[in-house]
Chain A
Amino acid sequence: MDAAEAWRHVGEVFEGMALGGHRRQVRAVAVELEDLFLLMCYMDLMGLPNPGALFLLDVYPYLIEEFHLWHRRMGMDRSPLATFSCC
């Protein structure tokens, strides 16, 4: 183990002490932020005007996987949108 690696482990120990118990909450916040981002990208599918939709055509394929994870997480086996079939 070289010095850099040793330092990284020390860092992890400290971070674990600071964050450890909160990791679950942080994860929940991260998930909420991801959902918010998805909602902003897919506002038009919810019937809301989306000023950027056309501007983001090439972002869509990257979000298909995230959309899939979202509806699974929300307890829906299949995509809830007829116009959006990720699975």
Chain B
Amino acid sequence: MRHLLDRHILFFGGKGGVGKTTSAAAFSLAASRAGRRVLLVSTDPAHSTSDVFEAGIGPVEREILPGLWGLELDAAREARRYVDEAKARMSGLFGPAVLAEAARQIELTASMPGVADLAIFDRMSDLVLSRAGAYDLVAFDTAPTGHALQMLRMPDRLSAWVAALAARRRQGLEAAALASPASARGERPADPVLGILEARQARLEALRRELARGERVAFVLVLIPERLPIEESVRAAHDLAEAGIAMGGLVVNRVLPAEASGAYYEARKAQERVYLEEIARRMPSAPRATVPQLESDVHGIAGLERVAACLLAESAPRG
């Protein structure tokens, strides 16, 4: 994974429990040791970056080690911020009656399911588009794969919707202009609704373009050599290709070490070999890093350093 050290945005994703957080944390640590300013962002609602670093990381960017910052996004807090920002943008633009009604609608809308996802997405967009300049690398420890990919596809889905709305709005405005006498045209002020829609669309497009820049952005799939994680990774690799997001590589985690012996381990290793071959066969072009099953859970800096060494070890993309 050495080739990923110079990326600016990395996403670490995979099935629950395969070691996403450990991989993301170890890689971020390695990158910060290599002299890069790194922000590690956890978007998984079940945060565990604090536990891995044995340090309290919260919803505000905070330096945990020299050159390494941590951030654990809190969905409820992001949702609140998102709604409050929308309200702040409109205050001063409208009279109190309109503002009161609008605030009611906004609160109503914000109580619907999905606001947390969108608020997290909004914050991630902001990190990718605006905050990325403050760091050399922003690494995302994502929620389990399906969800992470959905998040990355959000610009496409939202963009189509906002584009359709903007097109309707434009048609409506054009028709209304045509319906009024020519002398009343021209002085017409710019439509603020169309303005908001166009600004939103421009931001989505910018995000989509940024995510598609393979030399800057990559998605790392973390898996263990077992049936279900392999299937999910193959699907994820396919989805990433479809979404036009570069696949940075595979972290094959918890591989039994060569020195494990005895009838039980020999049987496990025989089965594991089949799965490792399957990973190589089904995702042949993906760079791979192998992390062995360690004697104990990965906690604290020493454990992360061991994992980081495995992640950076040279590995041939094939074989």
Residues of A within 8 A of B (CB): 8, 11-12, 15, 19, 23, 26-27, 29-30, 33-34, 36-37, 40-41, 44, 51-65, 83-86
Contacts and interface: CB of A to CB of B under 8 A. Distances in A.
User: Which 6 pairs, one residue from A and one from B, show the smallest C-beta to C-beta distance?
Assistant: A30-B175, A57-B86, A33-B172, A61-B102, A27-B179, A30-B176
13 contacts: A27-B176, A36-B172, A37-B169, A37-B172, A40-B168, A51-B161, A55-B118, A56-B200, A58-B90, A60-B102, A60-B109, A61-B90, A64-B102
A11 B182 CA distance: 8
Contacts of B89: 58
Interface of B: 82-83, 86-87, 89-90, 93-94, 98-99, 101-102, 104-106, 108-110, 112, 114-115, 118-119, 157-158, 161-162, 164-165, 168-169, 171-172, 175-176, 178-179, 181-183, 192-193, 196-197, 200
B183 A61 contact: no
Contacts of B94: 61
Nearest to B89: A58
Contact of B179 (A12, A30, A63): A30
B285 to A, nearest CB: 34
B4 to A, nearest CB: 32
A30 to B, nearest CB: 3
A55 B106 CA distance: 11
A15 B82 CA distance: 47
